Amino acid sequence: MDLKAAEAEMEVILDAVGYELTEARRFGLKDPDRLRRAVKRARDHLDDADVLAGAILVTGDDG
């Protein structure tokens, strides 16, 4: 995997995680259902980041 492409993709994923966590913070306990959905989406993005990191590790591309 091309390291520069992976870095760009990881940046997008981490931005998405940050957005979802901001949304979760905004909803707080006022809207538990929306809070849960935001946290679930953040977890899904973190899973994507884990897969991407694993793909980089497997290819051995360290720059």
28 torsion bin: left (phi>0), alpha (psi -120 to 50), beta (else): left
Q: Provide the 8-state DSSP code for 60.
A: T
pLDDT at 61 (0 to 100): 54
Structure tokens at 8: 């760009």
Find the largest Cα–Cα distance for the chain. 45
Please say whether the beta carbons of 14 and 52 come within 8 A.
Answer: no
* Amino acid of residue 58: V
Q: What is the pLDDT confidence band of residue 50, given thresholds at 50, 70 and 90?
A: very high
pLDDT top residue among 59 and 52: 52
Q: State how far the Cα of 12 lies from the Cα of 4, in Å rounded to an integer.
A: 13
pLDDT top residue among 10 and 2: 10
* Digit-coded pLDDT (tens) for 7-46: 999 999 999 999 999 999 998 889 999 999 999 999 999 9
